[in-house]
Structure 1
């Protein structure tokens, strides 16, 4: 009775802010991978391409928001046992499960409509993203290693959608770099969950019983090294001719960025990898400088 009263009282507090929190705008930085195609296609100063890429980015924000909202309904009981996730709108009772499902469906419809408006290729990518998320939610998130690989695949789909949005082929090297980097980020997320939840980790997420902090540290180290090597080879082989050979000047920023990220993950037990970029100024500056170097090489040399 007390819990029911708490939930009913929470529902009365539902507002536009509650629904915005359902879509998790802090996670939208992940959709920045959609913009990679715009930058590396050499069309970042073409208004039509910028508009298409921006709409594709917004569309994937809507699609990812739909996935988050729907997952909050599916995971409501587990979230209520989590020290941080119990404050989410559905778990806390601010938004009813039925309202969250309707909201998720509306976001998914809006996102797919925007994707197909940009182009058929972007639309297909949007559908593939939702199908992957459905498979992840139903099966893959319970399987160690495959859970992180499926998360990484979602980022690769984003990169492909961005290339389709500007009508430009995307380098296989860029897809490899995206996949390796996001595997690294995925393992840091699992490490954070394991370290922060302690003995209750397996209760919240079953597949965490198959991981350990030392194992995840090894996986992170492998992916970090592979990311640096793959990006370095990318700058050598793709931009080996002409003035664009100076693309290798962007390598130090990638090296520092991933090592800085690793430092933050390990510092004081680690922070939430999902929000590190939003609150760490050195990471933000590094990303900006990397983008400046890449843009200068591609557009002015």
Structure 2
């Protein structure tokens, strides 16, 4: 293969990887939550099972992004930013290549049934949820925010299935509230920065309305997390101020630095927020370590 051909192959591979949106994989860190709170993080077998679930969720989320890009290709081509940043809209990846990649990702997920059938069931629910979202439900106000948030809840369930442990009601409702907070903030920023041009459903919202949604969800996340800590894991009380600071910092980035349209970009670009997440994770591991299974 000539140098020119190798360069073209490398370029095509990079565009396919871009289509999979690897930067968004950070969202799948929610899969790891049951590993920490079940106290199984010292077990190599548990670590391997959850890591595999994390990888599978990255593949599933990439498949969902490809479906969404295929559905929105015509609209994205008219968008001033997405027409240049989305490979399908920009023409750097053909529809045929995207479909072939999508089929390959589905095949990998299907093959995982032999190792983690419980996780694959959760992934099937996640993919079905995203198909419903991409082909109509994303245009339904309020429901669109809840569907995005429920995707994060399913990430937690995938981690729990990998470990064969139940998801506590505390973890379910706290994750749901936190995800609703981030989803509402995302809608708020889209609306305030680009109006209803960003997505059709935004014509049904106002900044004041989604602000109230975000405030309600943030309060719920803090209250339920605090109740969980005080009732089930009192040794984690030191993490409550960290969570509170994280919520404050995220809202500061949204309001003052005009971030929040992409939670992933906020986390990766704002050092204080990233450090807050790392401190919270480190504190949880440190506090729960003596009780962790060997």
The TM-score, its normalising length taken from structure 1, stands at 0.89
Picking from 106, 109, 122, the partner of 1:108 is 106
**Is the contact made by 1:112 and 1:127 (CA closer than 8 Å) also made in structure 2?**
no
Tell me what 1:254 maps to.
243
Tell me what 2:189 maps to.
192
For 1:255 and 1:83, the matched residues in 2 are separated by 37
Tell me what 2:266 maps to.
276
The correspondence of residues 1-301 of structure 1 with structure 2, limited to 5 A, is 15-87=12-84, 88-114=86-112, 116-198=113-195, 201-202=196-197, 204-239=198-233, 245-274=234-263, 275-300=265-290
Per-residue deviation, 1:85? 1.4
Counterparts in 2 of 1:78 and 1:14: CA distance versus 1, 3 Å: farther
The TM-score, its normalising length taken from structure 2, stands at 0.91
Per-residue deviation, 1:112? 3.7
For 2:166 and 2:59, the matched residues in 1 are separated by 25
Higher relative contact order (CA 8 A, sep 6+): 2
- 1:69-97 Cα offsets, whole Å, 9 max, x none, are 12111101111222321121000000011
Gaps of 5+ in 2: 1-7
SS of residue in 2 equivalent to 1:170 = coil
After superposition, the CA RMSD in angstroms is 1.7
| Farther off after superposition, 189-198 or 127-136 | 189-198
Per-residue deviation, 1:295? 1.1
**Is the contact made by 2:186 and 2:260 (CA closer than 8 Å) also made in structure 1?**
no
SS of residue in 2 equivalent to 1:15 = helix
Tell me what 2:5 maps to.
none
Counterparts in 2 of 1:169 and 1:195: CA distance versus 1, 3 Å: same
Per-residue deviation, 1:268? 4.0
How many residue pairs match? The answer is 282
Gaps of 5+ in 1: 1-10, 240-244
